[in-house]
Structure 1
């Protein structure tokens, strides 16, 4: 078997029953199913049930009031975050595509979320992030362009307050990160971003095998 075929086999292997059980442990409700349907209509991937329930859990655990999300999509992850945030919390979500954010606004409206609680910014994350305030955020969730993950990590380090948390989605990237023979651009950059977090003295990190992988790191 060639390295490429080994990578494909790993990426498409059947999940274990225990993994599948944990992923579906917290079921989607009607609004989340609506968000997932909107994602499919836009030909977008979306965070798994395991990932969305983890995002809600983390936001609730932290009593998060200020959250940055890189990659709005159709609002799946944003909906999960807002459900865990403090009642006065504000989600700042960045996406290059205005069409995605229009769909997300519809999902947030269906949930009854006041418009003042969501700040949607259409534009390049690497243009928007430097304009946000240092140390002002409880949680930074990265689900944008994998080729920019290293830069997102550097920005998150600046944006997070002491005790704030970085969440990096797709940290296992379709099962390819663990395959040392795989040197696709996305795989290499995500590996580099994971290593960057490991090497930052002010981050304490763990890697969760949830969905497509979540790196979670708390800032000292």
Structure 2
């Protein structure tokens, strides 16, 4: 999993608290990696919570399956979907999710944010990871592709009348938005 960084301990704690606070029973995440965020969500969800995780890299899915199973979570509580998130997200049910967590390909963040609005129930949370992107997002002179796309995704959320949001300076930045 070279080049990929798992979520920080702080981000993991926030995800657990948000899942518990909202009483989340259905979570979808874009970007599985080894399953650390999935485990954080499970720690906050009740015993009947179901997690759907999408990742284009099948190796990430296999690692996550081993990790979640070793942590005692039966496979009936998670759906690991190996596929391109932009192809999978439109197939998920409208308004069926309590939380949508975005931690996939940064260059597709705008599309993920757009898709999340349809997937979330009213009162559901959109959580976007890495929104400070190594302190480049707030730097007007930074013009990297990921930086520009993350700025556009943040703007889409802040300009939307569908969300109330807050940026948390934990890990590499976490945007949390509640759908009205």
Asked if these proteins are the same fold (TM beyond 0.5), I'd say yes
3-state SS of paired residue (1:173): coil
Which residue in 2 is equivalent to 1:200? 160
Which residue in 2 is equivalent to 1:172? 132
Which residue in 2 is equivalent to 1:39? none
How many angstroms apart in 1 are the aligned matches of 2:169 and 2:41? 19
Which residue in 2 is equivalent to 1:73? 33
Give 5+ residue unaligned stretches, structure 1.
Answer: 1-41
Between structures 1 and 2, the one with greater helix share: 1
Deviations 1:153-210 (A, max 9, x none): 0100000000000000001001111110011110000000000001110100000000
3-state SS of paired residue (1:51): helix
Which residue in 1 is equivalent to 2:118? 158
Which residue in 2 is equivalent to 1:62? 22
1:3-14 to structure 2, matched below 5 A, reads none
Aligned residues: 179
Cα RMSD (Å): 0.6
Between structures 1 and 2, the one with greater strand share: 2
3-state SS of paired residue (1:174): coil
The two structures have a TM-score, normalised by structure 2, of 0.98
> Highest CA radius of gyration, 1 or 2?
1
1:178-217 to structure 2, matched below 5 A, reads 178-217=138-177
**In the alignment, structure 1 residue 116 sits paired with structure 2 residue 95:** no
**Poorly superposed stretches of 4+, deviation over 3 Å:** none
How many angstroms apart in 1 are the aligned matches of 2:17 and 2:87? 29
How many angstroms apart in 1 are the aligned matches of 2:173 and 2:96? 26
**In the alignment, structure 1 residue 143 sits paired with structure 2 residue 127:** no
The two structures have a TM-score, normalised by structure 1, of 0.81
Q: CA deviation at 1:86?
A: 1.6
How many angstroms apart in 1 are the aligned matches of 2:149 and 2:59? 27
